Amino acid sequence: MTELVHLDVADGVATITLDSEHNRNALSRQLVSELGAHLESAEATADARVIVLRSAHRVFCSGADLSEAAEGSMEQGATALIDLQRRIAVSGKPVVVVLAGPVRAGGLGLVGAADLVLAARSVTFALTEVRLALAPAVISLSLLPRLAPRAASDLFLTGRTFDAAEAAEVGLVTRVVEDGRLDDALEEVLAELRQGHPQGFRETKALLNHDLVDRIDRLGSRVAAQSARLFGSDEAREAMLAFLSRRG
């Protein structure tokens, strides 16, 4: 089976790359499992002080794998995505997400859980769950603490597409850079982070993410059950099959 997520360690940085171009890095069982394993490996690698998460291709993540979702229960997938958000939040190392292309639905949970997010100006985002008879239940764990309440209501309920500048304005993105400068901007951030001490990172992240981790632990099982119920509903299955038919 071809690997969908890669891990490379060099110059104090563990780079995790999503590489599932055929479904635009949809959160399939395989991709989520490999991403979790690589996050665990990166955390355990003493030579890596920083973790970078990016895509090998234009799209960062297209959200849930609707082909899998239309086939049956998503409870395991919901729990796995909660675990990914928690892994990022509790990591003792700064996690930097680099966005060169679109992010949709469930992929925004990875963005919300990250410590720093760099986005090219052309990147677009959308929380499209309501249009598929779903709700952004699982990813609300990391998104609601980041977003202004009125912004969350707008973006969650309309499902509209918004750009990187708006994402930064509402607290989802740390820094917006011109498309051709994304790698340079990442190197600038990494140069700053390489000066940090592992204990300093670990203790500071514990302060920053205390409330987020507590929220995940308190609400995780409830939103996982809600997500599984919605994905298993006739309404959502019909909407997902219609979407897949239009896309195909």
Rounded to an integer, the average pLDDT of 188-209 is: 98
Residue 153 class from Cβ within 10 Å (0-12 exposed, 13-18 middle, 19+ buried)? Answer: exposed
Looking at per-residue pLDDT, the higher value among 70 and 64 belongs to 64
For residue 72, what pLDDT is reported? Answer: 58
- The mean pLDDT of the chain is 95
Q: How far apart are CA 114 and CA 94, in angstroms?
A: 8
Task: List, in sequence order, every beta strand (DSSP E) within the chain.
Answer: 5-10, 13-18, 50-55, 95-99, 103-104, 116-120, 124-126, 161-163, 175-177
Rounded to an integer, the average pLDDT of 130-151 is: 97
For residue 24, what pLDDT is reported? Answer: 96
pLDDT band at 153 (very low <50, low <70, confident <90, very high): very high
pLDDT band at 240 (very low <50, low <70, confident <90, very high): confident
Contacts from 235-238 at CB under 8 Å and sequence distance 24+? 235/133, 236/69, 236/132, 236/133, 236/134, 237/70, 238/133
Summarize pLDDT for 27-51 with one digit per residue, the tens: 999 999 999 999 999 999 999 999 9
For residue 50, what pLDDT is reported? Answer: 98
Question: Which of 163-167, 195-199, 215-219, 241-245 has the lowest average pLDDT?
Answer: 241-245
For residue 73, what pLDDT is reported? Answer: 60
- Every domain of the chain and the residues it spans: 5-179
Residue 211, both tokens: 């409330």
Contacts from 181-185 at CB under 8 Å and sequence distance 24+? 182/98, 182/100, 182/118, 182/120, 185/118
Dihedral sign computed on CA atoms, order 144, 105, 97, 217: positive
For residue 163, what pLDDT is reported? Answer: 98
Residue 114, both tokens: 């990250």
Q: How far apart are CA 77 and CA 84, in angstroms?
A: 11
Please count the residues of the chain.
248
Percent of the chain residues past pLDDT 90, beyond the cut? 90
For residue 243, what pLDDT is reported? Answer: 85
Question: Which of 16-25, 55-64, 135-144, 233-242 has the lowest average pLDDT?
Answer: 233-242
Q: How far apart are CA 160 and CA 221, in angstroms?
A: 28
Q: Are 138 and 160 in contact (CB under 8 A)?
A: no
Residues 5-179, CATH architecture:
Alpha-Beta Complex (3.90)
For residue 74, what pLDDT is reported? Answer: 75
Q: Are 143 and 172 in contact (CB under 8 A)?
A: yes
